[in-house]
Amino acid sequence: MTVSQQSNSNAPAERQGPPCKFIFVTGGVVSSLGKGIAAASIANLLESRGLRVTLQKMDPYLNVDPGTMSPFQHGEVFVTDDGAETDLDLGHYERFTHAKLTQANNWTSGRIYEKILTKERRGDYLGKTVQVIPHVTNEIKASIQRVATPDVDVALIEIGGTVGDIESLPFLEAIRQMRHEMGRDNTAFVHVTLVPYIAAAGELKTKPTQHSVKELRSIGIQPDLLVCRTEGDISRDIREKIALFCDVAGDAVVAAADVDSVYKVPVKFAEQQVDEILLHHLRIDAQPRRLEPWLEMLDRLDHPDYTVTIGIVGKYVDYEDSYKSLKESLLHGGLAHRVRVEVRWVEAESITPAEAHQQLASLDGILVPGGFGNRGIDGMLEAIRYARESKIPYFGICLGMQTMVIEFVRNVCGIADAHSTEFEPAAKNRVFFKLRELKGVEDLGGTMRLGSWPCVLKPGTLAHDCYGEDKIDERHRHRYEFNREFDEPIQSKGMVISGETPDHTYVEICELPDHPWYLGCQFHPEFKSKPLEPHPLFASFVGAASQRRAGRDSERKRSEEEQFLRAGNR
């Protein structure tokens, strides 16, 4: 092979056919308007028409990634297969589409600057002045172009923040330049804005939208489609007024009224031809929309047979965004059985041995999710003991698996001081620790086991039964590992190690056979569940919770009948 052939084989494959087109999604007026859901819903509709899509989130803040940001402030950290710690919007993107997302699909200003500063220190700029324009904007454009791989027809790029923020300006300038360079047919601007209802006046107000679009136009971006968030619908008059003042086509003013489930947004958009308008704008010929599976899923969502109650025992329960994917996965698990899952958030710190029964007995299933730090651990251990002894289905995820095993070692194996070195660095019986502690290597600070790892399942176990496969891949985000010195103690008392890495280094799943449903996994299955593909562990767990619910219902009925008969005999 010649040198030039070699370098060619490393170069990204040349694009065949038409160029990848871009849809840029910006937001105005206020934050939290659901730009991520809007982008994901458009992508969902385009995918339903046979197009291959990808999505990317640009976050204007200076943190290099959300990995070290507090879940209280920033919500969940979503993890991709390649181990990127990303914004939770990437979770929406994956749940609404089949796009394969990686580190390349989430950028922050911090990461863009980090790249530029590394180049500057290396001397790559040859002593030139390094500036926001062109250096930062070029780096942003290059990052956007990198997701336009040959297997993508349309890339949706969501710009975080609100138009008018100082920090999002370089991103807006970069996408303005892309329109200039690539032309109107290859780029579309979608602006998500707010049309508030002012109760005192009894009117919907268009002024905030007008101002937001004015702001956008002042930096050279003319939106092609406006997604107007409202409480209810928007009348024809108001749409026309917005269209006129904002200079967009009348049918390109789309109402995004509040809905009770985010999964309904694609349908609302379809009713207003959002996909049709964008495809026309981008001059793309696509198949007709195929929404049947999605509509079938919504039918299950809207017409559940009954409700099951799952208690999530954690420490961020006041901040539901910190468990976004988890909540969605439970909902998906419910879809698999046509049941509605009601989540009851239980603050771990509030659980005590004396009150556990009163706090937890009415639940159909108990789940301890992932988490970091000491707070609430005792309450979690108590909830787990209660679930084990009372035979309530229990699902432990990451920290919830670690606490599940610690509880077992303490209360079943009789080793009272068993712990994880995360919570008790000097623990004598360290059931979870960093493997490096064993090998005597210095603590590597932030090093986590991140992203997708293979796991081999033991035949004849609940885990194997759920997946119906011998080998799976799941995503990780944690530091502490099961100490294999405890294989024998736990197994001799009946706990089964049902999943481990192929090299037997890491324990990935543990379970108790003598229980309706009792399983903990070291990975985060919630990052891979989708409404159309509920994750097997969540589907099975909610199934077990439904059975408990059905069992309790028939028990209640029987005792009511008995009471009735007794009363009649008196």
Which residues make up the interface to ligand GLN (CB under 6 A)?
370-372, 398-399, 422, 477-480
Residue 261, classified by CB atoms within 10 Å of its CB into exposed (0-12), middle (13-18) or buried (19+), is exposed
Token duo for residue 159: 């710009």
In contact, 518 and 319? CB cutoff 8 Å? no
CB of 545 to ligand GLN, least distance (A): 21
CB of 435 to ligand GLN, least distance (A): 11
509 forms bridges with which residues in the sheet? 499, 521
Nearer Cβ to ligand GLN (92/449): 449
Q: How many CB atoms lie within 10 A of CB 431?
A: 26
CB of 370 to ligand GLN, least distance (A): 3
How far is residue 490 CA from its own chain's centroid?
A: 33
CA trace torsion 82, 55, 77, 509 (10° rounding)? -50
Residues 20, 398, 510, 521: which is the catalytic one? 398
Nearer Cβ to ligand GLN (277/398): 398
CB of 533 to ligand GLN, least distance (A): 23
Nearer Cβ to ligand GLN (162/403): 403
Q: For 513-556, give the DSSP string.
A: SSSSSEEEESS-GGGG-BTTB--HHHHHHHHHHHHHHHHHHHHH
CB of 64 to ligand GLN, least distance (A): 19
Active site (annotated) includes residue 524: yes
Q: How far apart are CA 368 and CA 362, in angstroms?
A: 16
Q: How far apart are CA 243 and CA 433, in angstroms?
A: 60
Nearer Cβ to ligand GLN (477/515): 477
How far is residue 72 CA from its own chain's centroid?
A: 16
CB of 378 to ligand GLN, least distance (A): 15
Nearer Cβ to ligand GLN (112/399): 399
Nearer Cβ to ligand GLN (340/478): 478
Give the chain's length.
570
Nearest alpha-carbon partner for 28 in 194, 187, 218 = 194
Token duo for residue 304: 């559940």
Residues 6+ apart with CB under 8 A from 421: 427, 430, 432, 433, 434, 437, 480
Residues 74, 281, 526, 535: which is the catalytic one? 526
Nearer Cβ to ligand GLN (111/475): 475
What's phi and psi for 370, nearest 5 deg? -65, 160
Burial 460-473 (b: 16+ CB within 10 A, else e): ebbbbebbeeeebe
Q: How far apart are CA 53 and CA 55, in angstroms?
A: 7
CB of 401 to ligand GLN, least distance (A): 8
Please identify every residue annotated as catalytic: 398, 524, 526
